[in-house]
Each structure stands twice: as C-alpha cells, then as structure tokens.
Chain A
C-alpha cells in the first residue's frame, strides 16, 4: 500500500507542486498545440500528488500502480518519472524516452483516458489512475484498430515514435469517432517523427476511425 493520500490534496492546489513538477510542466509550453491539454493533465497529476507535508524520499519508496489493468508494486525514488518506472522497473520498454522533457511525446501513455507524457509525470504522482501503455492497448496477440491500420498503411519507419503516435491516435478515436484530418494532426502535433512518417500516420488513423465506425 502506497502511503500517499491521493485525492486528499485538492486543497493544496499549487502548494503540492514541487519545483521539479513546475519546471517540467513549464517545459510543456513549447511542446506544440497539444501542449495546453497535456499541461492541464500534468498539473492535475501534480495536484493529486502528496501534499507538501508528506515528505518522502530521497530513497526508494514503495508504490502501487495500476498498469494495463494489473496492480503492480514497485519501489522507486520519488524523483523517478513514470516513464522510468515503466521502462526500468516494470520492463515495459514500449514507452520510449526521446527528449525526456515533454517536447516530443514519444513516451505518451494514458492516465485513465488522458494521454500524457510519461517523462513529465512522477511515478509517485500517478495515484489511483489507471496507466495504459502501448503494451496494454490491446489484449495480448491482438491489435487495436489503430495498430492494425498503422501496419497496413506503413505508418512506421524506424518505429521509435510509433508507440507514442499510436497512443495519441487511439486516444483521439476514443474521444472522437469521426475525426477530420486536422483533428488527427492536432492529436499528434506534439509527437515528433524524424523519419517523416506523418502522412501515413494520418491515413492510418482516419482508416482506423472508419473501421471502428463499422465501415471497413
């Protein structure tokens, strides 16, 4: 049992926001048009963390996370980001770390239904929110429609941005069943791809939306 009192810190508002949280969140401003929404998500993440009086660390602290529907118990230093915890502690290396400062969205995971940059969230601040990573987007051995469309439309090259792209696009389809091309661009406007695979990301996501709506 993590000794956080999640949900009790609403009163603390920015008080519970550590310097590191602030700096990391501030770095979001440059992350593109999706930045505002993600910034909000990360402020929420910070707010639902421990109040200032709950001093923990600097050594490892026990922590429970709900990841891909499974409760996981780990011990991490409070400074550990969610991305580090997923990759190093839980072996979920599908979540990629590229810039480690919220500029590229390669590490996009969902907290409940909200896509966030896992490099900008401290693991101890996740609380009871469900974490969904690329490995948990679809049941083992199956592909989410966005994943299937990425394969069919060749929306990967080196593949390093792909998990983040998929998570952003799948989140879009969860909140908008009938997105326009511009909606897709907005959804991945924070996701950098150095190979330049964007056109096929757009095509794949629009095709996946059609599949989901039942017009394959």
Chain B
C-alpha cells in the first residue's frame, strides 16, 4: 500500500485503487492506480474486472426465469384476501372551480365499500401564498385528468361503474394549454400567484422561489464570465431556435398501489422507483410514524422518473383502505397514466455559440423555456453549462405554467432536449470552421472518457468514410451523425444492506432497494458472490421491502452507485465474521482465509479446502450477519463527477415521404466499473430506442380548444416498436474512478441523452437540411425539406 500515512486521520488507511480506462489510448486516460484515504473498516480495493470472477462478467438475471414464466408478481398482480378495487373520477375540464361533488349515487352502487373525495392534489406546483386564491371546498382543477374522487368496490367493474356516477358541478375557468400562448401577458393564469413544485426523489421539480410573472416562473440564471465579451472574441457564431415536444413516460405498468390499512399501520405494495419515498410520503399523508408504513415492490413494470412517492394514486388507495377496512388495489388506467402522472416538458431553446477560428468556444448563450404543465422542471441548460469548456456562459431557464398534467423527472431531465440544441449547434460551428465535428468537440471537451469514446466510436462507425451533406442523388438519402452525452454521478448515502450467511451455507442479501428493470438484483448478487467465492445464482437477494435496510431511490442513475458499496461492505463484514469462526479450525488467522470457487481454505494451503457449505456448517451461531450503510465517496470533487457517452447514428431519409429510418447506432458509454455488461448493454439499448422514439414519434397532443389530450393511449401516442429498432452496437468502457468499494455507476440516464441530437445531425448529413424541431415526423421533415428548396 502506498500513500502518506502521515496525512491520514484516525481510523483511516491508504488504499491503492485502479484508476483510468483499461486499453485507453488517449493521454491521461490509461489505467493506472491512485491512492485514497479510506476508513479502516472498508473492504479492500477491488481489482479491475479482468481479474474478477463474477463482477464485471455477463451474468444472466437471477430473476430471469420468474419473468419469462409470468411468475414474477407485480403490484397490478396482487390479490389479497378481501381486496377491493378502486376507480378514479377525474376532471374533464382543464381549469375549473369545483362547486359541489355528489357521491351519493356512487356510494349507493352495488358492491361499493368506500368513497373518497380528493382534498389535496400531489405532484403539482403549489401557491407560495395560499391567500392569492379564493378559499374553496375542493382543490381547483388545473388540468384535464386531475383526480377528483375515488371509489372502492368488490370488483373493478363495480368500481368503474360507481366512479361514473360521481356528479361534479364545475364552474369553468379560462385556460391555456399552449406554451407560447401561456407566455403572453394577457394569457389566462394557471396559478393566480407564484407557485413552486416540490422536489421529488428522482430529481423532478424545478428550482424554487424564482420570480414569477403571469405564467412564467423564472428565469433561473447560470452565469460565468461574460458572454458579450465572449462573442466579441468569436470569429464565427451560430444562433438558432430549437423546439421539442412533451413526452409521456408510458411505463407499461401504470402507477398503482395496493394499500392494506390495519389498525396499527399501513402495508402498501407499490409500483415505485423508491420504496423509501413512498413510505415517507404515505406516513406524512396518513399521519403515521414512518415505522408504521411498510412498502413492498418485488417487481415493477417500468419506471423512467415518474414513479416516486405515494402520488395521488397511493394517497387515494390508502384513504380508501382506511375507510373500507380492507385492502384496496388502485391501478391507473392507461389514459390517466398519460394525463396525470408526469411527462418530459417541452422546450423552446434559443441558443447562440461563438468560437474562434481555431475552434475554441468563446461564449455559450442559452435562453430556454418550456412547460411542465402544472409542474416545473423544464430547464434544458445542463448540457450547455456542463459539456464543454467555455469561459463565458449564460443560461436562462424558465418554466411556463399551462393547464396540463404536471411534469415529473424523466430519464435525464432536461438533457435530451438540451443536447438536441447544443450538439446541433456544435455541428454547425464545425461546418463553418471547416473542422471535423469530432475534432471541434475534442478541442473543447475536457472529458478523458469521452475522448476515448469518440475515438472508439469513430472507428466502429466508419466516421472517416462519411460523405458531404446531401451526397445521395436519389430520393432516399443516407447520412451519419454524432452527439455526445453527459450525466452526473449522484450518490444517495441513505442506502444500506444486510448480508446473512446461514449455517446451511445459504447467502442472503436484504435491502429495501427496488429493481425497476435495471438489474440491481443481479448486480447485488454478483458483488456478494465475488466476495464469498460463490456464483451470483447462489445468492438470494431479498429487496424491495422497507422492512429491510433502507434503499436509495432508483432515479438519476443513482441505484448502482449508491447501493452496491453498501452491499460490498456488508458482505465483507459477514465474511470476516465467518472467517473468524473458521480461524481455529484451519489454525490460521481470519485474514488468511480465502474463499474461492465455492471453497474455503487457508491461503497458504489450498489442499485443505472444504466446501463453502461445510465451512458454514462450522459456524457456532445459526448465521453470521454483516450490515452496512453507504459511506461517502472516497474523494469529494469540487464539481459533480460526470459520465460521458458518445453515439453515432446512421439513418436513411425518404425525401418523398419524409420518413426517417434509423438503421445503425454505435454507442460508446461509461458508468464507472460496469458490474454486469449484459444488463448495462440492455439499458443502453433501451436508452437509444427511447431516444429514437422521442426524436421521431412521441408527442403528447393537447387540443387547444378543449384542453384535452387527443392521444392518451398506445396507438395514437406512438412508441418505437420492433420495426423502428435499428441495429445497435454498444461498447462499454471500464472507467475506474477510485471512488467507492465497488466503483460502480449507473447507465440509465446517459444512454438516452445523445440519441435525438445524433439523429438530427445524421439527418443533416443525409440531406444538407437542419431540422430543429422534435419529433421529426414526416410532416416536419417534408416541411424542412420544402423550406430549404425555396431558400
């Protein structure tokens, strides 16, 4: 071990950890080691993946068989004895004062056991000063689809029938659903005064306490240097407007909860990305201590940022269960899922960037606004502020309230839309400067990992063979484009695990963390198995239950980053306890006991190996246990550590029909130490396909005359399917950061950030025409081509 012990505090030691990227060619990126001060009870440093047996290897999911046989049980599948079914009545008007609600007919409907009128709407912005609004008996309706009341009945059909009998008397109010209309000074006010959306565990909700004028909340300003000075230094400038649409999350399993209220507390099965935040929010709503609320999420059918906290569905289910004295299952309809559970805000971005002749950025000026409906979080400035080195920056982000369902965190909030603008302008600058777009990026991007990703991706995608824009003569035009991603290493220290080794040789890990499809269940098994010399399939992973040690929310790509070091610390403790028990048997000290290939032996004499099971049989107690919480990263950098990602897209444009077909994607990504390349690859595929879907198809359409969504389903709200899926080549870099005992990071967000931008750049290379609007539907494409022809 190297490192200066003199600088170490008490209880600390110096560890040498892998640092850098194996096989990297870029200077400063190659694999080396670095010394870190770590707590003495931390597990020893983990070698690079090439030296490991289970971690870093493609391990099939340990719950795969349950999923492919339909035996994995999701919230919507729960059936408890005496369980009731809930149905929700929602507003058909986008803005109204509720004068009265008559529940009598619903209550009298056969089979109905409880009714509930919503008193507080969750997940939306709230007025800073409540007195700005006339007092009302019921929440003001601010979007079509806002929940009004709910019923619980003995069957779903009885509940649906009863909900239809709820009579609501409205006083309609003027409304606005269009972001540009809502900005006008005489627009109807969504909120009569300044309002803020509370933060969610997934990073949803925008900045608070910003100035608000009319419906415009903001701007939030992020400034360094002076952009005016910067633009004076520029030799070339590009300035353009970009527009992106509202995207809804569309998880296949809608928001749902099964609430089981008993006299002494509440048990909830939840389709959530955070068991702990559901528990905390329900405790607050139901006025219970947190310890009296238990939340379980064994399997959940997809979460992309909108499933944090109890939400209105959870609150209604809990209230109905309390009133009915029976468990209540409330799962939202597909329509309500589109209308009321969250979305990615749209954006209008005005972006101007200047650069010198030699390709150095001198100023970035981004003014953007967008609407998250009755929520906030439309800021799209992350990429502009954080991707490139630029001495002069001004980012102004505003939210515009409209009478539409609230935004929620959605896979890399703000970043796909921000990249769509930024990466196109960078491409345009490169063309003006007569520079290779990769070269221009290289001159302004300090990230060593992205440098390596550009190099690898360019070779795989045959970037050097790319042609001039619009080179194809026929109606089908092909092109290639590139864009970069960034995301941030986010750590939640409220993450803990317990590991039990039983006298029968069993190994179990327990944590409240939930597996939303990223595969954390398997990654945890790998971490435990590696330490004990077992296989991942030997480890039982019991997660998704707040009765276990607390888990982090699964949002912002923080799950793996946060929970796996706790798992490794816990299994390390358990292993130490087991080794201590075996020391006398082998006649060596605990530290000399090795566990490998299912065997336990003294390091000096492998011939004395006994099986793990035999070894566990020698425990004096029925089990040994390790339990640990996440410790802080070994080093706290001044700025957030970034993940990179570079994607190359090849596509074909049919210039007669306007149809774009993405044919091939090369995606090079990093997430610290990849624990399970199989699952990381799946998430990268998913990020790209969701990115294609966002770029080309998805669009929440509101009718401005009625304020209603015209496509709240899965046939008119188009999501990429099998035929829209291109050939995808992924490359996953190992990028050792020496920051934790697993050094692992998440991949959920970075994978989707660059795709739409890369598609837009490829479109330009194919046609010589810029499309600055999403989604790039045939109509948008044909319009752009026509305008270019006129020009």
Residues in A lying within 8 Å of B, measured CB to CB: 27, 30-33, 77, 79, 84, 87-88, 91-101, 103-104, 106, 133-135, 137-138, 143, 147-148, 150-152, 154, 156-163, 166, 184-186, 188-202
Contact at B68–A150, with CB atoms within 8 Å? Answer: yes
Q: Measured between C-beta atoms, what is the minimum distance from B441 to chain A in Å?
A: 26
Q: Are B722 and A196 in contact (CB under 8 A)?
A: no
Whether A196 and B334, one on each chain, are in contact in the complex, defined by CB atoms closer than 8 angstroms, is no
Distance from B306 Cβ to chain A, minimum over Cβ atoms (Å): 12
- For the complex formed, measure the closest distance between the CB of B752 and the CB atoms of chain A, giving whole angstroms: 9
Cβ of B252 under 8 Å from chain A = yes
How far is B250's CA from A185's CA once the two chains are assembled, in angstroms?
A: 21
Inter-chain residue pair count (beta carbon < 8 A)? 180
- From A96, A134, A160, A196, give the contact of B688 (CB < 8 A): A196
Flag if A95 contacts B70 (CB, 8 Å). yes
Given that A99-B334, A103-B713, A189-B723 are known contacts, is A157 also in contact with B686, CB under 8 Å in the complex? yes
Q: Is the CB of A196 within 8 A of B252?
A: no
How far, in angstroms, from A161 to B65 measured CA to CA in the complex? Answer: 14
Q: A residues within 8 A CB of B685?
A: 196-200
Residue of B whose beta carbon sits closest to that of A84: B156
Since A87-B77, A133-B70, A158-B516 are in contact, a sample of 8 more A-B pairs with Cβ atoms closer than 8 Å, ordered by chain A residue number, is: A84-B156, A94-B69, A100-B333, A101-B713, A148-B68, A151-B65, A185-B725, A201-B722
Instruction: Find out whether the CB atom of B678 lies under 8 angstroms from the CB atom of A96.
Output: no
Q: CB within 8 A of B721: which of A134, A148, A192?
A: A192
- Binary flags per residue of B57-77, CB closer than 8 Å to A gives 1, else 0: 010110111011111111011
Residue of A93, A152, A154 contacting most chain B CB atoms (<10 Å):
A154
Question: Interface extent on B, as a size class?
Answer: 35 or more
Contact with A along B518-553 (1 / 0, CB 8 A): 110000000000000000000000000000000000
B301 close to A154 (CB less than 8 A): no
**A185:B253 contact, CB within 8 angstroms:** no
Known: A160-B253, A188-B722, A199-B728. A151 touches B68 (CB 8 A): yes
User: Is the Cβ of B516 less than 8 Å from the Cβ of A135?
Assistant: no
Residues in B neighbouring A77, C-beta threshold 8 A: 157
Q: Which residues of B contact A (CB under 8 A)?
A: 58, 60-61, 63-65, 67-74, 76-77, 79, 155-157, 250-253, 299-304, 333-334, 516-519, 678-679, 681-683, 685-690, 713-716, 719-723, 725, 727-728
Pairwise interchain contact B723-A185, C-beta atoms closer than 8 A: yes
Q: Which residue of B lies closest to A195 (CB)?
A: B686
A150-B73 contact, Cβ under 8 Å, with A160-B253, A191-B722, A196-B687: no
Contacting pair B73 A93 (CB below 8 A): yes
Query: Inside 8 A of A191's CB, which chain B residues have their CB?
Result: 721-722
Q: 6 closest A-B pairs (Cβ-Cβ)?
A: A94-B70, A196-B689, A158-B517, A160-B301, A196-B686, A151-B64
Asked if B252 contacts A106 (CB within 8 A), the reply is yes
- Measured between C-beta atoms, what is the minimum distance from A11 to chain B in Å? 32
Q: At the interface, is chain B mostly helix, strand, loop or mixed?
A: loop
- CB pair B687 A159 closer than 8 Å: no
Q: In the bound complex, do residue A197 and residue B77 qualify as a contact, i.e. CB atoms below 8 Å apart?
A: no
Cβ B720 vs Cβ A196 within 8 A:
yes
Would you give 29 A-B contacts (Cβ < 8 Å), ordered by A? A30-B716, A31-B715, A79-B157, A91-B79, A93-B79, A94-B71, A95-B70, A99-B334, A100-B333, A101-B714, A104-B252, A134-B68, A135-B69, A148-B68, A150-B64, A150-B68, A154-B519, A157-B686, A158-B303, A166-B68, A185-B723, A191-B721, A192-B714, A192-B719, A193-B252, A198-B722, A198-B725, A199-B727, A202-B722
| Contact residue among A30, A163, A196 (Cβ-Cβ distance under 8 Å from B70) | A163
Please tell me which one of the listed residues A30, A106, A156, A202 contacts residue B61 in the complex, with CB atoms under 8 A apart.
A156
The reply to whether A32 and B721 form a contact with Cβ atoms under 8 Å apart is: yes
How far is it, in angstroms, between the C-alpha of A158 and the C-alpha of B271 when the chains are bound?
Answer: 11
Q: Smallest CB-CB separation from B66: which chain A residue?
A: A159
Report the minimal beta-carbon distance from B183 to chain A, rounded to whole angstroms. Answer: 32
Q: Which residue of B lies closest to A168 (CB)?
A: B722
Residues of A within 8 Å of B61, CB to CB, are 151, 154, 156
From B70, B714, B728, contact of A93 by CB (8 A): B70
Q: Shortest beta-carbon distance, B59 to chain A, in Å?
A: 9
Chain B neighbourhood of A166, CB < 8 A: 68
* Residue pair A96, B715 in contact (C-beta under 8 Å): no
